[in-house]
Amino acid sequence: MNPITTTVPVQAVVTVTDNGAPITPDSVVWSQSDNRIATVDPTTGVVTPVAAGTCLIVADCTVTTPSGTKTVQGVGTVTVTAVGDNLVATVDFQPIAV
């Protein structure tokens, strides 16, 4: 087995909808459930793979709707796989409805 020499960061993206229409969150704070698998920059949402495996990624979003400001949380999955000498992260997020 080849040692892992390079990691490939990926941008996590969360979609928030209000009555089916996409809205832009006022703010998003990102976190991960297991930093032994992947880390996520809390401000930018850039996911950096650390080791092969799966962990959760969380997006805490503040949104403003006609009915006021709300905080919603989305949970997605980060799957890190070894591809040759690289670790590659794949992020799967479902849309969040407010």
Summarised one tens digit per residue, pLDDT across range 45-79 is 999 999 999 999 999 999 998 888 999 999 999 88
| Residue 19 lies inside a defined structural domain of this protein | yes
Structural domains of the chain, count: 1
pTM of the entire structure?
0.84
Q: How confident is the model at residue 2 (pLDDT cuts 50, 70, 90)?
A: very low
Q: 1 lies in a domain?
A: no
Q: What does the pLDDT read at residue 53?
A: 93
Q: Which domain holds residue 47?
A: 6-97
* Other C-beta atoms lying within 10 Å of the C-beta of residue 69: 9
95, two tokens: 């849309």
Vertex 61 angle, CA 55 and 64, to 5°? 165
**For residue 34, is it within any domain?**
yes
- Whole-number Å distance between alpha carbons of 13 and 71: 17
